[in-house]
Chains A and B, each alone.
Chain A
């Protein structure tokens, strides 16, 4: 055993050399003076908390968990993990009703979906927004993501499941709450593209919300339950050698990295079987195993935004790599900046202003890119960018579904 192994600490905190580079890049610090910043909230605070948990500061809740501090730290300190783990371990504040509602994305989805048109109508009424603003402290400027009348699973069972049997090669799909309840179209595009590649799609045995919103709303016990459920479901398919694909970068990041680091759910048996759809497709095409045939008429100027969690995963190159394969596309890389929404964070009244101020650099960059639309792998970034800039945001898989000649692609992959 080396000295480092004996003296090592969780999330590398003793490697911190106090350079404050993390604080320089944290998007919250310049907009919220109550937030102590990653160095103080993370490694510095941890030293004190280890001595006495009384040193825990509730202001740690302002952390977006965007992981930008970790990406830039020259010493490899897992700053955001230290902060989130401290919240889990020491916070005494109970999540408010509002936070529980915002965090329970799948529960809310399954409850309201059957009455979706009514809920959407009610959620968009000025009066309801004011009441939510006043009573629940959900900011009234927010446009709530619409709930879809038919869930993705419902659509899949009725329209797609039977035809998947014809494919020898199969993948399982973790659709997440957003595709499940708010935007089934992305799931439909995913099935279309996979089928064109000659690959059938299966759903997991009862997937639950990945839990990211619960983690950030201080509901780690509930998050852990979901994690155990998903872990068992994914392990089962992964054991049969099948890949599990997701379209959401945040769900993927949460299940691969936050499960073991924060929720202490061991995912070593399946971690490498869970991939973002864009990575899977990119690898299949670049190795020559699969072919893509594009429509000649597809032309677009696309600005790509890398969501924070995708930046941390380091897989943005697969999404941009895929988009670059489309002959009629001009791709603009937006500078790496946080959009400010961070899941449910920006929905809260007390964070609204900070959230928009954080996103400003990105919004300005989007305005000057003058693109036809923005591409992005994250659903909450999509809400934020669409609300704040008026630009349309499309997922790379939806872009493929549009740009591909699906029949010729299917032919080429027979």
Chain B
């Protein structure tokens, strides 16, 4: 099968590239082995973000708050403030590294252990903000509690999203003059409507804070972007893996995937957006860190002992490993650029965050579709 562009990886970088190109009339296929880092997202993007992302996501129904070029702060589940640029609408952003509230209610569904209420309360008291932690229960959550594997963010969202009035009622009962309610991100799995409805129904600001994975807003955004990509005419090969590639004279000729075996996929241009170790965009043996699909040049310390720092809290050098490219984001193989291949997202060597993933993605999009 032939496309104008084949994208390897369906995470933030791959989907953004696909959606943007497909909207410009470039036919794209995205190959995605499994779900990606968006499913573990905090709900916010760190690092310099390109401004094009805001209108592109808005067309797909994804509202991004904040300023792509200016820092804002969000309150994290560990109770600290973190500098971010953009955030999904669930998150509350502040102009300085201080929460804006005089009295806070932290409300958690009874029995939900993936939300660290004690850390959050601790963080608030360090900021000198008074708060109380309360749990609320609804009859529909009872069956979930019987099975611990279901008392997770997504299971709760599936139950609560269609009962926003009941949730609002339960929170109302707990309110006692608080001007901010902190809730876990367990609302809005398939659409942002439940998040909006709850905000409308409760007479205080609501900040939805990240839980242990999976990330409910992350899954929603992934689904919205994928849907928009397919609606624009894109082909999404879900659950398939690019297993080998033919490169000759510095050009990618075709890709093979696990599911399509002998049926090769060809394109004019290819984008590698396969993420890092976590998504198997990078692999390692005891001796080396490598890029498994094309065998591209990887920037990382050669000595294994230099991959990590003995101090577990220090930045770990292996985390910055990634492919090296020329100025046009063509990755190098044996020192030479592969001319119809681009790299975007966290597969690139250096710091990894959503801003960097998006910036490289839009740069590649502009190279391909002027």
Q: Which residues of A contact B (CB under 8 A)?
A: 2-3, 19-21, 23-24, 29-30, 33, 36-37, 39-40, 44, 70-76, 272, 279, 283, 286, 311-315, 317, 321, 333, 335-336
Contacts and interface: CB of A to CB of B under 8 A. Distances in A.
Contact of A317 (B1, B35, B150, B154): B1
Contacts of B36: 74
A279 B240 CA distance: 16
Interface of B, helix, strand, loop or mixed by DSSP: loop
A335 B158 CA distance: 18
A-B residue pairs, 10 tightest by C-beta: A314-B259, A71-B239, A24-B154, A40-B149, A33-B143, A74-B34, A37-B149, A314-B240, A30-B158, A72-B35
Given A19-B39, A36-B149, A24 B219 contact: yes
Nearest to A75: B34
Contact of A20 (B152, B240, B286): B152
Interface of B: 1, 33-36, 39-40, 143-144, 146-147, 149-150, 152, 154-155, 158-159, 213-214, 219, 227, 230, 235, 237-241, 257-263, 278-280, 285-286
Contacts, number: 96
B219 A36 contact: no
A23 B155 contact: yes
Given A20-B154, A312-B239, A314-B260, A33 B147 contact: yes
Nearest to B11: A74
Contacts of A73: 34-35
22 contacts: A3-B286, A20-B149, A21-B35, A21-B213, A23-B152, A23-B155, A24-B39, A24-B154, A30-B158, A33-B147, A36-B147, A36-B149, A40-B149, A71-B34, A74-B33, A76-B33, A283-B263, A286-B1, A311-B239, A314-B238, A314-B257, A314-B258
Nearest to A306: B238
A315 B149 contact: no
A3 B147 CA distance: 36
Given A24-B219, A37-B147, A314-B240, 7 more contacts: A2-B286, A19-B39, A72-B238, A74-B33, A286-B1, A314-B239, A321-B1
B6 to A, nearest CB: 13
A308 to B, nearest CB: 11
B213 A20 contact: yes
B39, B149, B155, B238: most-surrounded residue (chain A CB, <10 A): B149
A21 B39 contact: yes
Contacts of A315: 259-260
Contact of B214 (A3, A24, A36, A71): A24
Nearest to A4: B285
A333 B228 CA distance: 12
B218 to A, nearest CB: 10
Contacts of B263: 279, 283
Contacts of B230: 333
Nearest to B263: A283
Contacts of B238: 71-72, 311, 314, 336
Nearest to B235: A317
A280 to B, nearest CB: 11
A39 B227 contact: no
B237 A314 contact: yes
